[in-house]
Amino acid sequence: MIETPYLLFLGDAPDQLAAKVAQGIKDWRPEFAVGQFRMEGCKADMKLTDMTLEEAKAAGAKTLVIGVANRGGIISPAWKKVLVAALEEGFDLASGLHNLLRDEPDLVAVAEACGRTLHDVRIPSVKYPIANGVKRTGKRCLAVGTDCSVGKMYTALCVEKEMRARGMDADFRATGQTGILITGDGVPLDAVIADFMAGSIEYLTPDNDPNHWDIIEGQGSLFHVSYSGVTMALVHGGQPDALIVCHEPTRDHMRGLPGYRLPSLTAVRDMALTLAQVANPACVVVGYAINTQHMAEDEAKAYLASVEADLGLPATDPFRFGAGKLVDALEAI
Amino acid sequence: MIETPYLLFLGDAPDQLAAKVAQGIKDWRPEFAVGQFRMEGCKADMKLTDMTLEEAKAAGAKTLVIGVANRGGIISPAWKKVLVAALEEGFDLASGLHNLLRDEPDLVAVAEACGRTLHDVRIPSVKYPIANGVKRTGKRCLAVGTDCSVGKMYTALCVEKEMRARGMDADFRATGQTGILITGDGVPLDAVIADFMAGSIEYLTPDNDPNHWDIIEGQGSLFHVSYSGVTMALVHGGQPDALIVCHEPTRDHMRGLPGYRLPSLTAVRDMALTLAQVANPACVVVGYAINTQHMAEDEAKAYLASVEADLGLPATDPFRFGAGKLVDALEAI
């Protein structure tokens, strides 16, 4: 568990897109974002107060989060001075980069000397159990996709936000690096040892109040041959009561797999539901979340209307048009 | 890759069952089993020549394989003297125990001093790639199960044996500890990091001659909520041309999951085939391998006949009645 709130480190980000982790935190957990730290030449801006380390400390920030990815995912020497100073100032550090904080001897030495913690969210920090499949209390919703990177994390975060706005008891449960940094907690599922994947998701979504919803971030796709095993562990370990099928309609092949066409919405619906009902026979599909970012507004609305007409369930782009329809359906369960 | 042939170490095995790894090697790779080493009180016997380390060395053995599991999977102090002496004699050591050879400082020190290798087959020794899904040459058959431990490894080994007896070009591909020790090579899939599971199976079953068959050992079950992600990686990473559905008819719940009934043969057939056709649209189910060890012979034969009548494909207990029917069906592909 990463201590909040955060100072968001934007470093020397070459553009706004390079700071998408910081953007995610700003968008979804603004209360965690005390301020931003930008180095000379930084081209990203979260429209937060620019702070020195001292100012951020005085404002209550506990952890400096590396909110930027540079080419190759490395920890740039230019950043080192700031990171060392942050540890000395009393911050923990958190990073989702491929190269780990713990593999930098200077950071390790300073963190030890100052009694601070280095959080590498790419690596599990927990010894997860093997899944036992025992029915848990509380409710769970899982986003499943036709492909990787079709908006499963944003869908889950939109649903959480809408539920909380309605006064419902809901928690987004992160299963990837960005989600973990946004919320400060979660399971880096793609880095878990095979035997413990489903168990890690049981651990992430334990018994809860009967009306509590875990909104579980999906990963991969049951139809993506590189990562389908990870998705399967979510479907069985998550024990979902409800599934939301996520899709990006303009893609012409599976991400990273030029020879593979995307499956249809009905194929994903039927496959995911059949498998989910092994762990939870009461599971239902509640609707479709369509990522329409590459479509004009009228085109997007026409597409959503056609999905609803063809498949008989609510369809929305939750980021663009709100998650209300999906939450209506979840509330009705 | 473990150097063959082996001296099989039976230690102080309390009974024959405790030496099932040694039994597997003796049954399936008798040419790898130069002899056996038994300590005082050993109750297991592979009917191999009892040899001293010196005799086994003279007979050509390269690796001492720990062919016995003791309670808790630990490396017993009583064994240590023999293992150290074996390293000094010039043997490598190979083990599938939970406790690792490499975690025993005395063994590590002696192995280094003698230039020998410690093989812990529970741990991957390769940095596997992420699966790319590209169609590979050669043919592949995968055993899928209704549950864990229903005979998938024995089915695959029986099919390999029958194919080789017919002069076909076939290799059993091990995906678990016992299988790896039997053949000297393979992928310990349950210990692979999630993101690389399917890639490890692509690595295990690379391009091959058009008429070559990889007979891939299955793991878990698509319907076993603890391990289904592992099975999924086999179905997609293995890119099978043919599936054999394996089943044990007398079990009243899924292994380790008291609340879960076994799926039907048709449910497993349909689910596995639909998923396998994502990676290989030409995949077919060729038949059923039924583990009838808990059934009388007439009961077993009646059961097999009923499966064939109901499902329209060959059904056999390949260990009890031979794998001929299954290989007939595979040869016809």
- The yes-or-no verdict on residue B274 having pLDDT over 80 is yes
Pick from B229, B257, B278: which is nearest to A229 by CB? B229
Contact list in A for residue B189 (CB cut-off 8 A) is: 194
Q: Quick one: pLDDT band at residue B80, thresholds 50, 70, 90?
A: very high
For chain B, positions 197-226, list CB contacts with chain A under 8 A.
Answer: 197-199, 222-223, 225-226
Structure tokens at B255: 């292994």
Confidence of residue A77 (pLDDT cuts 50, 70, 90): confident
Is the CB of residue A139 less than 8 Å away from at least one CB of chain B?
no
3-state secondary structure at position A86 = helix
Q: Which amino acid is at B219?
A: Q
Cβ <8 Å between A198 and B227: yes
pTM across the whole model: 0.95
Residue A50: phi, psi to the nearest 5? -70, 130
Determine how many CB atoms are found less than 10 A away from the CB of residue B206.
Answer: 10
Terminal CA-CA length for chain B: 31
Cα nearest neighbour of A134 on chain B? B259
Three-state DSSP class for residue A142: strand
Contact B162, B96 (CB under 8 A): no
Is residue B277 within 8 angstroms of chain A, CB to CB? no
pLDDT of residue A229: 98
B232 and A223 in contact by Cβ < 8 A? no
In the predicted structure, residue B72 carries a pLDDT above the cut 80: no
H, E, C per residue of A226-273? CCHHHHHHHHHHCCCCEEEEEECCCCCCECCECCCCCCCHHHHHHHHH
Residues of B in contact with A229 (CB under 8 A): 194, 197-198, 229-233, 236
Sequence-distant (≥ 6) Cβ neighbours of residue B255 within 8 angstroms? B147, B148, B149, B224
Q: Cα-flanking dihedrals φ and ψ of residue A95, to 5°?
A: -145, 145
- The answer to whether the Cα torsion of A198, A203, A204, A210 is positive or negative is positive
Nearest C-alpha in B relative to A233: B229
Instruction: Report the alpha-carbon angle B268-B279-B129, nearest 5.
Output: 110
Q: Region A221-230: what's the mean pLDDT?
A: 98
Strands (E) located in chain A: 6-11, 33-38, 63-66, 92-95, 118-120, 139-145, 170-173, 213-216, 242-247, 284-290, 315-316
Min Cα distance A46 → chain B (Å) is 32
- Specify the pairing of strand B242-247 against strand B170-173: unpaired
pLDDT per position as a tens digit, A118-134: 999 999 989 999 999 99
- pLDDT band with cut points at 50, 70 and 90 for residue A297: very high
Question: Tens digits of per-residue pLDDT, A173-196?
Answer: 999 999 999 999 999 999 999 999
pLDDT tops 90 at residue A208: yes
Q: Check whether A98 has a pLDDT greater than 90.
A: no
Nearest to A285 by CA among A306, A255, A311, A258: A311
pLDDT score of A139 more than 80: yes
In whole angstroms, what is the distance from residue A182 CA to residue B55 CA? 63
C-alpha separations of A119 from A12, A82, A100, B41 in Å: 21, 16, 9, 51
Calculate the dihedral angle through the C-alpha atoms of A120, A122, B186, B108, rounding to the nearest 10 degrees: 0
Mutation to test the A interface, candidates B127, B232, B274, B280, most A Cβ within 10 Å: B232
CB B32 within 8 A of CB B91: no
Q: Which helix (H) or strand (E) holds A26?
A: helix A20-28
Chain A partners of B260 at a C-beta cutoff of 8 Å?
133, 278
Q: Is A82 exposed, middle or buried (0-12, 13-18, 19+ CB in 10 A)?
A: middle
What pLDDT, on a 0 to 100 scale, did the predictor assign at position A13?
A: 92
Q: What's the pLDDT at B201? A: 98
The pLDDT tens digits for B86-99 are: 999 999 999 999 88
Q: At B225, list the tokens.
A: 């909520």
CB-based contact, B124 to chain A, within 8 Å: no
Give A188-221 as a 3 state SS string: CHHHCEHHHHHHHHHHHCCCCCCCCEEEECCCCC
Lowest mean pLDDT among A37-41, A96-100, A230-234, B134-138: A96-100
Residues in chain B, total: 333
Task: Spell out the residues 6+ positions from residue A278 whose beta carbon is closer than 8 angstroms to its own.
Answer: A236, B223, B225, B228, B260, B263
Give residue A69's pLDDT: 83
Any CB–CB contact under 8 A between B130 and chain A? yes
From A195, A231, A271, residue closest to B274, measured CB to CB = A271
What domains lie within chain B, and their CATH numbers?
6-120 (3.40.50.720), 139-332 (3.40.50.300)
- Please tell me the distance from the alpha carbon of residue B57 to that of residue A225, in angstroms, as a whole number: 45
Q: Is the ipTM of this complex over 0.85?
A: yes
3-state secondary structure chain B: CCCCCEEEEEECCCCCHHHHHHHHHHHHCHHHEEEEEECCCCCCCCCCCECCHHHHHHCCCCEEEECCCCHHHCCCHHHHHHHHHHHHHCCEEEECCCCCHHHCHHHHHHHHHHCCCEEECCCCCCCCCCCCCCCCCCEEEEEEECCCCCCHHHHHHHHHHHHHHCCCCEEEECCCHHHHHHHCCCCCHHHCEHHHHHHHHHHHCCCCCCCCEEEECCCCCCCCCCCHHHHHHHHHHCCCCEEEEEECCCCCCECCECCCCCCCHHHHHHHHHHHHHHHCCCCEEEEEEECCCCCCHHHHHHHHHHHHHHHCCCEECHHHHCCHHHHHHHHCC
Identity (one letter) of the amino acid at A20? K
Model confidence pLDDT, tens digit, residues B206-257: 999 999 999 999 999 999 999 999 999 999 999 999 999 999 999 999 999 9
A-chain residue closest to B281, CA distance: A260
CB of B129 closer than 8 Å to CB of B192: no
Which residue of B130, B194, B279 is in closest CB contact with A197?
B194
Q: Which residue of A has its CA nearest to B271?
A: A271
* DSSP designation for A48: S
d(CA A330, CA A314): 11
Q: What is the mean pLDDT of chain A?
A: 96
- Among A108, A112, A129, residue whose Cα is nearest residue A120: A108
Mean pLDDT for all residues in chain B: 96
The pLDDT of residue A33 = 97
Per-residue pLDDT of B102-131, as tens digits, reads: 999 999 999 999 999 999 999 998 999 999
Question: CA A81 from chain center: how many Å?
Answer: 29
